[in-house]
Amino acid sequence: MRSYTQFYIDRKWVDPVTPATADVINPATEDVSGTISLGSVADVDKAVAAARKAFGVWSQSSVAERLELLRGIQAEYANRMQEMGEAVTEEMGAPIALGCGFQAGLGAGHLQTAIEVLENFKFEEQKGAHLIVREPIGVCGLITPWNWPLNQVTVKVFPALATGCTSVLKPPQLAPYSAQILAEIMHKAGTPAGVFNMIQGQGSVIGSALSKHADVDMVSFTGSEPVGIQISKDAADTVKRVGLELGGKSAWIILDDADMAGNVAAATGGMMVNAGQTCSAGSRLLVPRSRLDEAVAAAKAACEGVSVGDPHSDVAMGPVVSKSQWNIIQGYIQKGLDEGATLVSGGLGRPDGLSRGYFVKPTVFACTNDAVIAREEIFGPVLVIIAYDDLDHAVEIANDSVFGLGGYVSGQNRDTAIALARRMRTGAVWVNGGFDFHAPFGGYKHSGNGREWGEAGFHEYLEIKSIIG
């Protein structure tokens, strides 16, 4: 049983101003796995004051000093990477191979990327008769979600640190353990007092306080669209910068070529990774109408091959994060049935043999793009297959969404795939797979603003000053 009842403020572990705790539930067992403290506005005030005080010194630190700290953090991270992966499995249900592999590995990757970018980043650049100076924006409030907890924390904390900002982190209440371990790593690596602070608690309290606080210069939030909108409203009165990475309903276009079955199977399996709890997941699978039956059969076979169960065992998919999320997903599956979508595989309830835990059946529907399950973000292992007539129609369907976070194109003709990617109104498009920590990540439309990852992520935390003459 874990007990994390102190906050990390000004390089000290401190008790909350007003004691209050909440249980953390293991989604695979529905049992209490630990306890955290819930912070208050008074705790936010303390943390922001510490960050504000530290900013004066840290903002003037040299690149060499920041690199030394990041490399120290990197050494400590490597020592505790397995432990952090296990924490991810416990807190949000990722299969142990995913938690200790890609989930924990993303944090290590973003840390290495921050080091690589910082080594070559131009904080000053002469442009004719003026000098461009890029300066740290100030105190940053960082609010992160539960679905990829280490990824979303590290993609904010390390660029903020590298650019000379100070920060207050609010990790997810549902998945607080891995962030707690990261704070311990930051401490052991010698992060100066006030440069990094962390408060656990409710987003409606801590996130709101950070967004409204007059001494917070920037808020970076990853999460749902409604919360992102509220943060923007809360931040408006103090005219602070707001970076948002919100929801998605990403299209995955399968070209009409020889490997239809293989491409559909890959897309179906990709949708089920992390129990579908990925904002950029390819949740709308677009296939040629002439080969719809073939695609449906391939998706059905792939979906039925996804193993679900105890995340500490060798399974492809664990539970979703909470009872509330389970209920939301069940509601969408029922909506799909009510609207007349064709159920290809999966459906309501838990998978066979699982009577306890927030497990969802991997589910595939065939429908049209006007169905609710094709319009709204479900955030669970639910894939919809939509037929297109030609490539122009495929692009039209892909862009017919309020979201624009991710996109995918699979097919043998790379030139055609790249041409389609250029026409998709979305922040990132993966063509036949691929992965790059330096590639900017962020959304169009209701999927947010700003960019994270790589050099683009540094610019979120910098102000531009022109020195002329």
CATH, range 2-246+447-468: 3.40.605.10
Model pLDDT for residues 402-437, shown as the tens digit of each residue: 999 999 999 999 999 999 999 999 999 999 999 999
For 355, residues 6+ apart whose C-beta sits below 8 A from its C-beta are none
Query: What is the CATH topology of the domain spanning 251-437?
Result: Aldehyde Dehydrogenase; Chain A, domain 2 (3.40.309)
pLDDT at 341: 98
Q: Which helix (H) or strand (E) holds 105?
A: helix 104-120
pLDDT of residue 430: 98
pTM: 0.97
279 is catalytic: yes
Catalytic site includes residue 455 = no
Q: 419 by DSSP, 3-state: which?
A: helix
359: left (phi over 0), alpha (psi -120 to 50) or beta: beta
Looking at residue 326, its pLDDT comes to 98
Residues 263, 266: Cα–Cα separation, whole Å: 5
Instruction: Give the residues of the chain that fall short of pLDDT 50.
Output: none
- The whole-number pLDDT of residue 463 equals 98
Domain ranges of the chain: 2-246+447-468, 251-437
201: left (phi over 0), alpha (psi -120 to 50) or beta: left
The DSSP output letter for 338 is H
How confident is the model at residue 258, as a pLDDT?
81
Strands of 32-37's sheet in order across: 2-4, 32-37, 21-25
**Which pLDDT score is estimated for 338?**
98
Pick the catalytic residue: 100, 140, 165, 279?
A: 279
Confidence at residue 262, expressed as pLDDT on a 0 to 100 scale: 97
Q: Which of 245, 377, 452, 460 is catalytic?
A: 245
Q: What is the pLDDT of residue 307?
A: 98
Q: Find the DSSP H helices in 121-224.
A: 149-162, 177-188, 208-212
pLDDT in tens, 239-254: 999 999 999 999 999 9
